[in-house]
Structure 1
């Protein structure tokens, strides 16, 4: 069963108690949480660029100003072939941010789209000074897109969401409220009422149950794209391969506090879902990777070394016993399969230790390696 959050009536309303689930893990030497952001006035829109005295010229739409100084909130939106949804998504985001009234930047990461996504983003960039765009040379996957967004995010709080209009930007406010006042480091959305195909809903439930059982973090919707992070989480947890769906688990294993909030979910309006049987099967292999990384990510020799040493010792003991039989009891060993087993175990032991040493060297060499290449970037140096 999931531990429920207990809050006094003075702090939270009954509605918010129903929205949140919290998970705690002891943590040592964690830096003190940063001060909570205070509301700031929404930047005024620029005046129209139309020239007076020219009645035929059409006024350009007002442009949203980039936040002066460092933004308090960064919204990271990875996308792939979502050209039809981007304009509407931007409108929804703008409406949600007007209610928040926080200095904000919006980072769109185009993961090698083959449609007109980058063209649409460029047009939005011209109208909204808060937008930053990163375009990959090819499709590297969602983990690489999130990593690129996290590296460029400057906000104290970072929100991730999908670009397919199924995530509701109005839920950002609720995520931030729980992140700030609920004493959490990461808040994950829970699409309690999902508008997805039946097979996707069932496979997701199975996957969440298995993940919770194996990791100890029992979330209802660990793969929800709508999440909110404190900056120290995104700067600590590495994101690569297909590990983006396990960010709450990786954060939990590092001692960060993870919570869950019910969020709205909308049917897909444009494009096709990227979900398929291959994603479901890959998820379980990634789960094994997460379990390995949470224990041996910086010390692979500890795992392979122990296994290799054990195999070598067992093989050595068997070989020693066979040697005793041959020398003392004058037994013949040519027809004893156990002799080959002893030799095989010793060879496996040496190989396992060697793999552990190679893993140590690879980990040290690639600890800061980048898994993507940027084709074009807009807004990185804009003030």
Structure 2
């Protein structure tokens, strides 16, 4: 971007005056709302978000990403887009999941600050000023539903899930999966989601060196529609945890991960082979051979992964440089 474009971009952004935002032509804040079969709430949510923009005196945009709704949500979103040029609507061809909807939406947002919230009105748009204020201090701000208005079959597994993720990753956040979050622009520009990795956004962003804050938020009971998630999402979430640990700790050094297992298998195989020499136990000999073969396979896979990483290096995101002086 050249100097003239930089100046135009700065001129289009809101300016903070006296703790409030002055209006500008480009959005200072983007509110991203993934939705799936929420026809009963999207219009009211849209109205409440726009009311918050007006109260703050901030130029804002609402970005709805419909994830293949079949209940009339898409028709309502088309109406909202026709009524308000500052409302973007993206309609996915089919249901692809929340991570895909968020990823598509992040690419469409233009604000310096991006807030995400669910479409069911369980998140309160009145909390928006608190998120914007917190984003002056943190790169990512996660909501924490300290008091949840959900049945125990949702709250209990959620507590177990969050405790497990905190223990494994070291990221100390009460509520990893709360949909109400805030991001600075730099975070959104680097963040990529696929599968069901939206549950691990705090872990993924912390691994990139971004600072993380947390706000206790109001959580309302669902007013219409039904929950789209059940117990199975926590099983999938725990499986995804292995993916997250791998890509945040070992993606650039896969042989360290695979080689560790290969070494363990090899040592155990050699120990069993030594026992075979004294016991002449055929079963132990077979097991030893299997373990040694597995060790060789792990080494081979690790080396192949290292080669694949090297080949794809130029297409990976840059390492996070927080500041550059005289560069």
Query: Is the shorter-chain TM-score for this pair beyond 0.5, marking a shared fold?
Result: yes
- Distance in 2 (CA, whole Å) between partners of 1:248 and 1:301 is 26
Which string of whole-angstrom CA distances, capped at 9 and with x for unpartnered residues, describes residues 236-292 of structure 1? 232111111111122223322111111111111110011211112222222232222
Aligned residue in 2 for 1:132: 88
CA 1:332/1:260 → structure 2, altered by over 3 Å: closer, same or farther?
closer
Conserved? CA contact 1:77–1:163, under 8 Å: yes
**How far, CA to CA, are the matches of 2:314 and 2:129 in structure 1?**
35
Structure 2: 5+ residue stretches without partners: 1-9, 317-327
Aligned residue runs from structure 1 range 1-383, under 5 A = 37-38=15-16, 40-42=21-23, 68=25, 70-180=26-136, 183-312=137-266, 314-315=268-269, 335-360=281-306
Bigger radius of gyration among the two: 1
Cα distance, 1:348 vs structure 2: 0.2
Aligned to 2:322: none
Contact 1:208 1:218 in 2 (8 A): no
Relative to its length, the structure with more helix (as a share) is 2
Structure 2 distance, partners of 1:367, 1:120, is 42
CA contact (8 A) 1:209 1:218 kept: no
- Aligned Cα RMSD in Å? 2.8
Instruction: Indicate conservation of the 8 Å contact 1:105/1:132, yes or no.
Output: yes
Q: Secondary structure at the match of 2:190?
A: coil
Matched position secondary structure for 2:115? strand
Q: Which residue of 1 aligns with 2:320?
A: none
C-alpha offsets along residues 308-356 of structure 1, whole Å, 9 cap, x if unaligned?
A: 244345545765x589x6xxxxx895x5333223321221012212333
Distance 1:80 1:365, change over 3 A: farther
Superposition deviation, residue 93 in structure 1: 0.9
1:345–1:148: structure 2 CA closer, same or farther, 3 Å change rule? same
Measured in 1, the distance between the counterparts of 2:289 and 2:215 equals: 56
How far 1:80 sits from its partner (Å)? 0.5
Give the number of equivalent residue pairs. Answer: 301
Conservation of the 8 A alpha-carbon contact between 1:107 and 1:133: yes
When normalised by structure 1's length, the TM-score is 0.71
CA distance in 1, matches of 2:127, 2:62: 16
SS of residue in 2 equivalent to 1:84: coil
Secondary structure of 2:63 counterpart: strand
In structure 2, relative to structure 1, the CA distance for the partners of 1:254 and 1:128 (3 Å cut) is same
- Aligned to 2:41, the other structure's residue is in SS state helix
Going from structure 1 to structure 2, the CA distance change for 1:359 and 1:79 (only over 3 Å counts) comes to: farther
